[in-house]
Amino acid sequence: MTDRRIAWYRQMLVIRLFEEKVQELFMQGLVEGTTHLGQGQEAVAVGASAAMEPDDYVTITYRGHAVALARGLSVDEAFAELMGRATGCCGGAGGSMHFTDVSHGILGAFAIVGAGLPVAVGAAMSAKHRGESNVAVTFCGDGATNIGTFHESLNMASVWKAPVVFVVENNLYGEYSTVRETTPLDDLADRAAAYAIPGHIVDGQDVEAVHDCVLEAISRARGGDGPTLIEAKTYRYRGHSRTDPASYRPAGELDQWRERDPIELLGAKLAADGALSSDEQTALRKELQQQIDDSAARAGDAPLPTLETMETYVYAH
Ligand SMILES: Cc1ncc(C[n+]2csc(CCOP(=O)(O)OP(=O)(O)O)c2C)c(N)n1
Ligand SMILES: [Mg+2]
């Protein structure tokens, strides 16, 4: 148990430092296109990914760095992709919103809100038809629960008992509006009732709670009992994209959520249990920061895609 929690702590820290570095690179004009960061939401990605088997399927959103890294995408490939380099996970052609890596089960990262959900249902059904035990897990935001594909996907998944888990990261905001301005519910898990599937709320700041909740849903799906909707209550520290300072948020809200920072919460538990002292945590942070800085520098030196590769993935050969 202790080792597993240390691994999760380390993984959340890697993701946090990665995203802080992305912000820095963006400000230096080194990131191609925009980027959507999810600092504060690391426990959802890490807890949920830890509940999956390596050959389970995943779909992620344009805010998908955390899940992609938690599933095993290397930091080197991630930085290179962001910087439009040939060594990126999509050869530099996708960028931040398209971290895709089928070798780690990531079937796609979708910039269209809600577009990943039906793909996950399809992947789940393909596994079911093949008689294989893989499940699909799909991540979306609170805003996505108002999109048609969310409802169509939950409906079909329920009717077909598709082995899929829907994870909603409720970070209280869509693009610029609060969830309550666009949604007539406080608890998005309530939407499960309309499709006769279980709906669970989990503390998205608590990596262990997320892991346990997602594992239960995955076991249910693998056992043939169909889909589950999970609402992880969380918060993103930054605005929607790099042009959004999030000045529409009420004063004090960010500080309140920072008090329940997922990395700090687990760090405090590990220190209290004697599993990883606060000095060891500081040393680990320093070591990982160095690795992140080195990786970003390597990506900056990596080759750009060549002109010859321009038509790759555009035309069938
Ligand atoms: C179909 C569609 N409509 C609108 C947009 C523009 N858009 C991008 S992100 C976003 C907000 C989504 O909010 P949420 O689902 O809560 O996810 P979060 O960004 O908070 O992670 C919107 C409206 C889009 N990409 N696709
Ligand atoms: Mg949101």
As a whole number, mean pLDDT of residues 286-309 equals 96
Ligand 1 atom with least separation from CA of 62: 9
Distance, CA 142 to ligand 1 centroid (Å)? 9
- Using 50, 70 and 90 to split pLDDT, how confident is the model at 287? very high
- Using 50, 70 and 90 to split pLDDT, how confident is the model at 1? low
Summarize pLDDT for 121-135 with one digit per residue, the tens: 999 999 999 999 999
Ligand nearest to the CA of 63: 1
User: Which range is least confidently modeled, 236-240, 242-246, 284-288?
Assistant: 242-246
- Using 50, 70 and 90 to split pLDDT, how confident is the model at 309? confident
113 lines ligand 1 (CB under 6 A): yes
Question: What is the reported pLDDT for 95?
Answer: 94
Summarize pLDDT for 179-228 with one digit per residue, the tens: 999 999 999 999 999 999 999 999 999 999 999 999 999 999 999 999 99
What share of the chain in percent tops pLDDT 70?
A: 99
- Using 50, 70 and 90 to split pLDDT, how confident is the model at 312? confident
For the chain, state the CA radius of gyration: 19
**Separation between Cα atoms, residue 96 and residue 109, nearest integer Å:** 9
- For residue 110, the one-letter residue type is F
As a whole number, mean pLDDT of residues 169-182 equals 96
Residue 285: exposure state from Cβ atoms within 10 A (0-12, 13-18, ≥19): middle
Global pTM value: 0.97
Ligand 1 atom with least separation from CA of 144: 15
pLDDT of 277 > 90? The answer is yes
In order of their start, the domains of the chain are 2-311 (3.40.50.970)
Q: Which among 113, 179, 242, 257 is the best mutation to test ligand 1's pocket, defined by most ligand atoms within 8 Å of the CB? A: 113
142 lines ligand 1 (CB under 6 A): yes
116 lines ligand 1 (CB under 6 A): no
173 lines ligand 1 (CB under 6 A): yes
Ligand 1 atom with least separation from CA of 236: 20
Nearest-CA residue for ligand 1 atom 25 is 112
Question: What is the reported pLDDT for 2?
Answer: 62
Q: Which tokens sit at 203? A: 């503390």
Question: What distances in angstroms separate CA 93 from CA 8, 45, 196, 310, one per listed residue?
Answer: 30, 24, 40, 9
DSSP letters spanning 186-240: S-GGGGGGGGTS-EEEEETT-HHHHHHHHHHHHHHHHTT---EEEEEE---SS-S
The residues near 29 (Cβ < 8 Å, ≥ 6 apart) are: none
Neighbours of ion ligand 2 (CB under 5 A): 141-142, 171, 173
The C-alpha torsion from 183 through 188 and 190 to 195, rounded to 10°, is: 90
Summarize pLDDT for 243-260 with one digit per residue, the tens: 899 999 999 999 999 999
6 lines ligand 1 (CB under 6 A): no
Phi, psi (degrees; rounded to nearest 5) at 50? -65, -20
Ligand nearest to the CA of 172: 2
Question: What is the reported pLDDT for 144?
Answer: 98
Question: What is the reported pLDDT for 314?
Answer: 81
Nearest-CA residue for ligand 1 atom 17 is 141
144 lines ligand 1 (CB under 6 A): yes
Residue 9: exposure state from Cβ atoms within 10 A (0-12, 13-18, ≥19): buried
DSSP letters spanning the chain: -HHHHHHHHHHHHHHHHHHHHHHHHHHTT-SSS-----TT-HHHHHHHHHTS-TT-EEEEETT-HHHHHHHT--HHHHHHHHTT-TTSTTTTSS-GGG--BGGGTEEEEESSTTTHHHHHHHHHHHHHHHT----EEEEEETGGGGSHHHHHHHHHHHHHT-SEEEEEEE-SBSSSSBHHHH-S-S-GGGGGGGGTS-EEEEETT-HHHHHHHHHHHHHHHHTT---EEEEEE---SS-SSTT---TTSPTTHHHHHHTT-HHHHHHHHHHHTTSS-HHHHHHHHHHHHHHHHHHHHHHHHSPPPPGGGGGTTTS--
